[in-house]
A and B are shown apart, each in its own frame.
Chain A
Amino acid sequence: MEVSHSIRERTIAENSLVILLQGLHGQVTTVDLRDESTARGRVINVDAFMNIRLEKVLYRDRRGRMSSMDDLFVTGRNVRYVHIPDHINIRETIESQLAKIHRVRNFGAGGGRKEYSKKK
């Protein structure tokens, strides 16, 4: 379960519900796309912009034709729904992801790496 290395992505994720999707790393879910097609597979990675990478995907296009793929990348904007598995507790997943980010942030012993230099 890795947290993004970019401070910018971490803050974006921390302040939005993408963090819930990031807690689904490794789960098998169905993603309904904007164009009415659906992709069912295991979530490899979700980034702060909701771009989703899935593996071992059963893809059903909007005409209903099924096909299977090893790897599928969906742009964040094309996502409409993400079905969350029943056994996942939404609140707890969000809190544990926030804790991970918090831990990574504080590990830098204060005054750690800065993404943008403070020079004026």
Chain B
Amino acid sequence: MEESERESESERCSAPSQTSEQQTTIETSGQKLERGEDVVETKLDISSDKFDPLLALYSPKVPLPYPNIKCFNNIAEYESYMKGGRGRAKPENVEKRLRKAQKGKADPERIERLKKLMVNNPVEEEEGEGSGVKRPPRRQRKAAKNVLTRMPLHTGSPLGELNRCVQEKIRVKVHIRTFKGLRGVCSGFVVAFDKFWNLAMVDVDETYREPLLGQALYHEKALTVTRLFEKLKVQETVALNAVERKGGDNLLKPDPHSSSSQLRDQTRRTDPKHTQERSELSEKDRSTSKVTQQSESKPKVKYGKVHTRHVNQLFIRGENILLVNVQQD
């Protein structure tokens, strides 16, 4: 279009020349053309008043204001040039590349930095967990989450109740399970716990029953806490009786021997580790305590004896806990 404009312009310029004679017309047309070119040049000159941008975009040679200026094909190219572009040799990039190249070599500055981060003396730590991060504090350290901080988090749930027992040092009774049913009861103070109900306890009194074996297990009624403690009482009374009547053992032996020979055999078979005392006790059971036999369903204390022991500090794996009973006063 500009071409046509230019042509039309030159035509217009040359139009009046056509009216005059040929030579003059040629001359004048030449002059006119020159004038046309001049006009075009001023139009292409950026600093002139008559700058025509449309003309400049399409003309083959536009004089550049600065001789060795960098030319771009579009604005995007210019933009990326201004941003630095990829692989531009900016001073920071150069340094980074150099550093990467020397990665393996020992760098004294890096060693210094690492040394500052190391904590040599554990006693110097402020709290149990703080290790004094020497890095410049970029952002707030996230709140430490460990087993101790998680203990108070369970408020409102049963574990929160357990936490209360820890804080207020309330004595609890922990029921321990065997694969089927109750094994025994641990009574003590909880010092620490976790979400698996693993417990760390102190001052523990454990009352438990040895597991039954074989047919007894099959036939046995489920053990409950009350029955457990009844058994314990019975055992204790029987033991007392045994101590009292130690003198009269020999007299009593032949009588129950015939009647309870079967039971005695059973004793020997199931519990080879039984001492003399215990077999005596069982005989005593048969011969003396009819009353006690009636009060309990299974008074035979040959196996499955109830034991008590005291442990100062005990760790219980949560898997074995049936329930925890808070002992309120």
Chain A interface residues (CB < 8 Å from chain B): 14-21, 34, 36, 50, 62-64, 76-77, 79-86, 88, 90-91, 94-96, 98-103, 106-107, 109-110
Contact = CB atoms under 8 A, between A and B. Distances in A.
A80 B146 CA distance: 23
B290 interface: no
Given A15-B147, A17-B315, A81-B317, A90 B192 contact: yes
B165 interface: no
Contact of A91 (B130, B145, B191, B194): B191
B59 interface: no
Given A15-B150, A16-B195, A82 B315 contact: yes
23 contacts: A15-B147, A15-B194, A34-B320, A36-B210, A63-B273, A80-B176, A81-B311, A81-B315, A81-B316, A82-B314, A83-B313, A85-B313, A95-B128, A96-B122, A98-B128, A98-B147, A99-B122, A99-B125, A101-B146, A102-B129, A102-B130, A106-B117, A110-B135
Interface in B308-328: 311-317, 319-320
A88 B194 contact: no
Contacts of B191: 90-91
Contacts, number: 107
Interface of B: 113-114, 117-119, 122, 125, 128-131, 133, 135, 144-148, 150, 176, 191-196, 198-200, 202, 210-211, 273, 311-317, 319-320
A107 B119 CA distance: 8
A53 B90 CA distance: 58
B315 A84 contact: yes
Contacts of A88: 313
Contacts of B192: 17, 20, 90-91, 94
Can you list the 10 inter-chain pairs with the closest CB atoms, starting with the nearest? A95-B128, A84-B313, A17-B198, A82-B315, A16-B194, A17-B194, A103-B131, A64-B273, A14-B146, A90-B191
Contact of B122 (A64, A83, A103, A106): A103
A53 to B, nearest CB: 16
Contacts of A36: 210-211
A69 to B, nearest CB: 21
B147 A17 contact: yes
